[in-house]
Amino acid sequence: MGIKMREISLSVGFGKIKGLCWGEGNNKKILALHGWLDNAGSFHHLAPMLAEIGYEVIAIDFPGHGKSSHRAKGHFTHFIDFVLDVQEVLELLNWQKPILLGHSMGAAMAQMYATTNYENIEKLIMIENVGPVPSYEPGTAVSNLTESLKQWKSHSTKHKHFYPNVEKALKARVKATPMKEELLYPMVARGLKKTKKGYRWRTDKRLRLRSLFRFSEQIVQDVLSSEKPPTQLILADPITYALSYKTANQRIEKLNANETVKIKGHHHLHMDNAKEVFKVIKGFLEKKI
């Protein structure tokens, strides 16, 4: 009999934050945070292995992702707002000294929150991310704001593209996230909504709009170098698009993780190489730091 998975739902100010739970009732706790345009289903392969060794793992869908509510109509979706969601979820769960596990955008959110509350976080595990990207580049403030306002003025939250079945949607996502279809299926299925016109993505379309502002590289590196809980950084080998920017190595140095590991795989290596990722996480969790 395998590890049971169940749906969870947390009431927040704008609606519901939904998610998945594995290993319910286990004493040790992990909050798992997914990447941009992904959802809790991205931990479908990794979470059961962590539950097997005594962890309760809750993976949430960030607002506008998966089955969680979208931000209120007329509101912009700011990157930094997800840190507020991490805080609210942890307050509702009322866990003592949890572990934060994040992939891509989720890793950035986990790290930013952890620096503000490092004494109450047991450990921090970051997969394929070292802070918000892209950061602000001097001389681009006005052009960025201009483009953001232009996009906001013409944006629509209505969905126009529909798939006749889940398989067609899965094949479309495989083009953007190359891996075996069976590995990607749990995340894709969770991200789809069935309508009379066919299947469409549940994702809030505002997530694709250009941000009205960007963190400067100085701010990003300031946060990365701040006091934090024991930290593990897991990166794909060879380097992926997620860390192909010019300041990536500077950020890794500023983070100064207790352990940095490179694993063969792609950006979503916690999905397509989950066993290897689990092994290095297990080793880090067992270390006394």
Active site members: 104
Count CB atoms within 10 A of the CB of residue 130.
Answer: 27
Sequential DSSP letters for 211-258: PS---BHHHHHHHHTS--SSEEEEEEES--GGG-STTHHHHHHHH--S
How far is 114 from 100, CA to CA, in rounded Å?
A: 8
Contact (CB, 8 A) for 126 and 105: no
Query: What token pair was written down for 55?
Result: 């962890």
Give the position of tokens 């809030």: 204
Pairing between β-strand 99-103 and β-strand 192-195 as defined by DSSP bridges: unpaired
Which two tokens mark 107?
């890793």
